[in-house]
């Protein structure tokens, strides 16, 4: 009977122009004790509706949820009456913190200097680099992968092994012959990322793979893989600046933010003191 009533209410609400809430939006559609749910309260949940049946279900679910919420709230108030003052204090503190934090965020958004130059990064890294130790192995590498039956296989291998810039440029120009590649060996890559993206290298002993100038050629049923390790940094080594650049920028911004908020607070207190807006008894 209850389900039929809810369906009837939902259908009645939607019957006029499908999703338009009538002018009598102050008319209640559900009640729990002294609390009422009105048509105007469900207006937003009908905005994006396309199908009448979907909207009826949505209204029905909303009414059910509202009833459960009100019943639980009433039960909680009844059983936790002794906690009322504590909850009101918490609500008050939350509201105050919300205002203060929103004000700080607006101030930071307006006044924070977000421009971080290379000099800023260099200076910070120079002073703090010993605090940045690697917790995973890093490598710089060159890597290509191509089909075993590719016509220019020998040429690709020769170009890959070469250290000449013109050969590297020539290899880049043959990108269409490659399934995948990484020819920028100035970028630091996690060892775990390498073996995750190219699983065939999982079979190579890690100690053997993590050697400077190490070259390996592997193949499976479909492809040929060439890998050259240019450089290695082991766990515990000082992290290179290029690798922790994003972290340094975040730290610099966070420090600027904290300093800005502190300056705002100090300025506020000093101005209030001058205007005799507060006293300490």
> Which residue is it, tokens 């300056």?
263
Distance (Å, rounded) from C-alpha 114 to C-alpha 273?
31
Distance (Å, rounded) from C-alpha 232 to C-alpha 132?
16
Candidate from 47-61, 82-96, 110-124, 203-217 with smallest mean pLDDT: 47-61
Measured N-to-C along each axis, helices 241-274 and 118-128 cross at an angle, to the nearest 10 degrees, of: 100
Contact 149, 182 (CB under 8 A): no
| Residue 161 backbone dihedrals phi, psi, to 5 degrees | -75, -20
Contact 152, 174 (CB under 8 A): yes
Q: Could you give the angle at the alpha carbon of 135 between the alpha carbons of 133 and 137, nearest 5°?
A: 105
- pTM tops 0.85: no
Give per-residue burial for 172-209: e unless 16+ CB within 10 Å, then b: eebeebbeebbeebeebbebeebbeebeebeeeeeeeb
- Ramachandran class of 233: left when φ > 0, alpha when ψ lies in -120 to 50, beta otherwise: beta
pLDDT score of 3: 54
Contact 195, 201 (CB under 8 A): yes
Per-residue pLDDT tens digits for 180-228: 999 999 999 999 999 999 999 998 999 989 999 999 999 998 999 999 9
Residues contacting residue 50 through CB under 8 Å, at least 6 positions apart:
none
Per-residue pLDDT tens digits for 103-128: 999 999 999 999 999 999 999 999 99
Instruction: List, in sequence order, the alpha helices (H) in the chain.
Output: 2-14, 52-79, 84-111, 118-128, 153-161, 165-173, 191-197, 206-209, 241-274
What's the mean per-residue pLDDT of the chain? 88
Confidence of residue 140 (pLDDT cuts 50, 70, 90): very high
């Amino acid at each position: 009977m209850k389900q039929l009533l809810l369906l009837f209410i939902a259908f009645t609400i939607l019957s006029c122009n499908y999703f338009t809430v009538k002018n009598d939006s102050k008319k209640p559609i559900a009640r729990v004790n002294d609390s009422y749910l009105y048509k105007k309260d469900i207006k937003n949940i009908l905005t994006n509706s396309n199908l009448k049946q979907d909207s009826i279900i949505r209204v029905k679910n909303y009414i059910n949820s509202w009833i459960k919420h009100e019943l639980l709230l009433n039960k909680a108030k009844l059983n936790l009456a002794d906690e009322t003052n504590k909850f009101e204090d918490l609500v008050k503190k939350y509201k105050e913190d919300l205002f203060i934090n929103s004000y700080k965020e607006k101030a930071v958004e307006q006044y924070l200097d977000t421009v971080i130059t290379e000099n800023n990064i260099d200076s910070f890294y120079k002073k703090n680099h010993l605090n940045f130790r690697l917790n995973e192995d890093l490598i710089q590498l060159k890597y290509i992968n191509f089909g075993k039956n590719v016509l220019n296989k020998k040429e690709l291998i020769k170009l890959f092994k070469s250290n000449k810039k013109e050969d590297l440029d020539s290899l880049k120009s043959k990108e269409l012959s490659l399934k995948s590649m990484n020819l920028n060996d100035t970028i630091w890559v996690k060892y775990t990322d390498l073996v995750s993206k190219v699983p065939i290298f999982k079979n190579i002993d890690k100690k053997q793979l993590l050697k400077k100038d190490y070259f390996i050629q592997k193949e499976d049923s479909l492809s040929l893989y060439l890998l050259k390790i240019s450089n290695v940094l082991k766990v515990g080594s000082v992290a290179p600046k290029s690798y922790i650049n994003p972290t340094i920028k975040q730290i610099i911004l966070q420090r600027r933010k904290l300093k800005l908020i502190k300056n705002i607070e100090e300025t506020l207190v000093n101005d209030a003191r001058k205007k005799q807006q507060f006293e300490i008894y």
